[in-house]
Structure 1
Amino acid sequence: MFEEDTVLHFVQKTTIINDRFTLVQFHIKGKGISETGQLERFRSEVSRLLLCPIQEVIISGIQATNSTILTLMIPTLYANFLAKQLEKQSQRIISSFLLLNVDLVISDKNEFELQVKGELYEARKRSTKHKPGQSTKPERSTPKRRMDKEQTKNAQPWKKIKRTQEKKEVMQEVCCPLY
């Protein structure tokens, strides 16, 4: 009656994160994670591999498809360490994630596809795919100085806004007095 619930509850990925954290997604092949115990083991293994305190590895989302997409919020320092290790083809990190059935790691602008190539392990950097609704043309940007100048030109001073609001309140009281 008082046993811990072992059923895995799926949670939508959060988009609000702390400034010093980064969201890292792990695509786990098959039904690798189906209980909370397995989820905690995965979290502790990520903590061990990145040399990060376990309380700093926060589950931020779990999405079920034919496989599992797990989103963890990890301190940016450790997320950058993970990206550098994958770029350097660290055999220990890649093989450990492959043993956890992870075949794709996505962090900020980096996507790494993990695979076995012969007797070695490889983390191949993938190009970011075109997302629906986005334009394929690069956006034209205005120089920062011109943007700042436009913002200050269009901005009203605080006192002027406050006086305008006070005038509206006075006009409302004069035109439509409260009964």
Structure 2
Amino acid sequence: MIENFGRNVARLRKQYDMSQEDLANKIGVKKQSISNIERGVRYPTFETLEKFAKVFNATPVELFGSPKEVALNDVPDVLDRIDAYDERIRTIFQIGTLMDHYSASDLDKIAYQVDHVMNFFAPHPLYDEDAMPILDDDNKVRMFPGKITRLPLDKLDEIVKKIDYVLKNEDKL
């Protein structure tokens, strides 16, 4: 049981995208202590063990379990994810059936309309002249905001108020 602890700490640390140094800082120990624990050379004190559990929000099985026990512990989460995707899979199958009723040109029109709506509401990548995504200084794709963000909503609000005024006072005009 305790022999699995180091391996599980390493797995959890990587799962949480932490370096040994990051984990050491959160636990309040030296990086070398984390390295020794992960290699099975040392074991944590009860106080440190509690800190590991808090940092990883881990159950005893996640900290001390064998690989098979850890995998079995994940089964309920996996089943929940399967249930969540079941409805999506059914929808995909229904789409396949619906597509049989449309021609290729009809589907192209629908795809164009969906793309147009998506570009209106959702941000989309900026591309250079070679159709390559433009990256920022952090190597992340630069995104162009959806067209909805460029609407002059204050002006539209003024127009709506004027139209409302005209409609309410139509008989007086």
Q: TM-score range by the shorter chain?
A: under 0.3
TM-score by length of 1: 0.25
Normalized per residue, the structure richer in helix is 2
